[in-house]
Structure 1
């Protein structure tokens, strides 16, 4: 990651009040070791679970609604911000308009970071909070100091500027709310001006269900289905690690290479059906992939979970009686059973 522009503004507002004050920094923050360390910490927090994705309702900007796309159109040209300081101040002022009516919301530090990664330009807008910490002076005396809270993320958005500028139909905005309450997440979404936001975990679960539905509709054998699901999982894991969206067409291409062109078309047909209505590309949530390669279930007295490729091998299911037969038990469980 190569940081191009960085600036932090402060918004002062107390919970239970409507009045908010913007304290704007007069010039950009220096891009030094501390800035790079903070950027890395924010990125790591951002890439954890809980991401929501979308695109601008009006990518070109308009006089109504969110002014963020209009401000980007005005200031971001030829992969560079002509005046990042002015852009960020105008954005912060717009943010204030959505923040002030929400009495439950508090102020904080509004962090703007324009950076380049793999020849692609991104913009972070992040709400950071202060916290009290303990410092140690030169004379080894203890004192209270204010620090930036980096253990958890409050609210943040990331825009793929190249995809937005190119008019990409994909979901080029990613954002998350951390533990922000619903009123705050709503005003933040309005500030972004996002069209039909999608939760990555929910979209990933839809892909998992789509994969199973396809295997069932085509009568694919358990062994082939498990192998296919494992490949889909590997594709998804790779995209999640690269922080890139997964194209549904990539999975269809895998269907074509393993089965046939007709079945690849069938996969896309099911994906576009009313039951799934999959986007052309989705951001993957790793935690939601488990059902692709694992079978699990629980009741008050029993919890059972195993890799799906064990079915038909050391685990056999009798559909007529609804029973499982398990051989090759884990040694730890076997030892407990033998001690009874």
Structure 2
């Protein structure tokens, strides 16, 4: 989905406020707070839609859950007071969050100044809390007298950091209910610390999810057999190389390596919120074998073969008779069969 396309998910804004983080390089952090929530008008709706769309378009997301140490990572306590106990209102919650953001940004030696969008949004029935750091740019506008004037605006191409907390998933105790942008430069680490997010990445489980996502993609795209096999073989070769060298996965790079014809389509599929696939894990080389190999078993047999055998004719499947024909059997197997 491009930034100009509308989101396909219905977003309902419950609360929205914009504060400001002021952090120059090698200087202490400061915050500028809005006194009340923003009006939930058409401008607010457009802002939320752009935020959600740009977030969905960005690669390299991480997923996790809250750290258990609420003294060091107070976000779950702040949310519990607002969402569960209802002892604080949304503006109070956002102010406490900004104080924590200021603490986390304080010791960083970088320019992290940005507008901070805090919103509670229902997305297709899912109640979520969003926090995003959005940069500011200067553009040109035309006044009523047709004069050219400067105007400042939120530049979503400079979405420096963002996080999304599934509030229902958090209350259910799901394994992972926080998603966040991995970020560019040094923003990601301290922003994840602000969220109080434990980045859960299990290589074997994530690799299996990646393999499943690739297989679902070739089915969804209805690729012809040669194109499908070529894509999966490229994926296997690339991931196997990463696994051998110990290099972590970057989802956008997988898309460029595996389907250079239209990498943006594969990148969108791999970054789907439904999959919740993390980047940054080293592929488990055992788990990528299904990309190029079939394995099955019945009550009286087991079978494993490479996809290339179907193309070479060494293995043929006859759909009409529901039989699989193997050619070029090795001598030792033929000998064992003749002895039966």
Specify whether residues 23 and 190 from structure 1 end up closer, same or farther in structure 2 by C-alpha distance, changes over 3 A only.
Answer: same
How big is the shift at 1:107? 1.6
Residue equivalent to 2:22? 12
Alignment of 1:277-316 (within 5 A): 292=291, 312-313=310-311
Q: Which runs of 4+ in 1 moved over 4 A?
A: 202-206, 208-212, 236-242, 274-278, 308-311, 314-317
Q: TM-score, normalised by structure 1?
A: 0.60
Alignment of 1:1-340 (within 5 A): 1-17=11-27, 19-48=28-57, 49-58=59-68, 62-63=70-71, 65-77=72-84, 82-168=88-174, 170-179=175-184, 181-182=185-186, 184-198=187-201, 205-208=207-210, 243-245=273-275, 292=291, 312-313=310-311
SS at match of 2:310: coil
How big is the shift at 1:150? 1.6
CA contact (8 A) 1:109 1:129 kept: yes
Residues 167-189 of structure 1 show CA distances to partners (whole Å, capped at 9, x for unaligned) of 22x2100000442x13x221111
Which runs of 5 or more structure 1 residues have no equivalent in the other structure? 213-221, 230-235, 248-273, 279-288, 294-307, 321-340
CA contact (8 A) 1:56 1:194 kept: yes
Alignment partners' CA distance in 1, 2:37 and 2:92: 10
Alignment partners' CA distance in 2, 1:88 and 1:275: 40
Alignment partners' CA distance in 2, 1:39 and 1:47: 12
How big is the shift at 1:163? 0.7
CA contact (8 A) 1:53 1:173 kept: yes
SS at match of 1:126: strand
SS at match of 2:173: coil
How big is the shift at 1:99? 0.3
Alignment partners' CA distance in 1, 2:202 and 2:111: 23
CA contact (8 A) 1:114 1:123 kept: yes
CA contact (8 A) 2:164 2:180 kept: yes
CA contact (8 A) 1:53 1:199 kept: no
CA contact (8 A) 2:15 2:121 kept: yes
Alignment partners' CA distance in 2, 1:106 and 1:211: 35
Q: Which moved more, 1:80-89 or 1:203-212?
A: 203-212
Residue equivalent to 2:263? none
Alignment partners' CA distance in 1, 2:211 and 2:105: 38
Matched residues, number: 240
Which runs of 5 or more structure 2 residues have no equivalent in the other structure? 1-10, 215-224, 233-265, 278-282, 293-305, 316-327, 329-340
SS at match of 2:129: strand
Specify whether residues 118 and 20 from structure 1 end up closer, same or farther in structure 2 by C-alpha distance, changes over 3 A only.
Answer: same
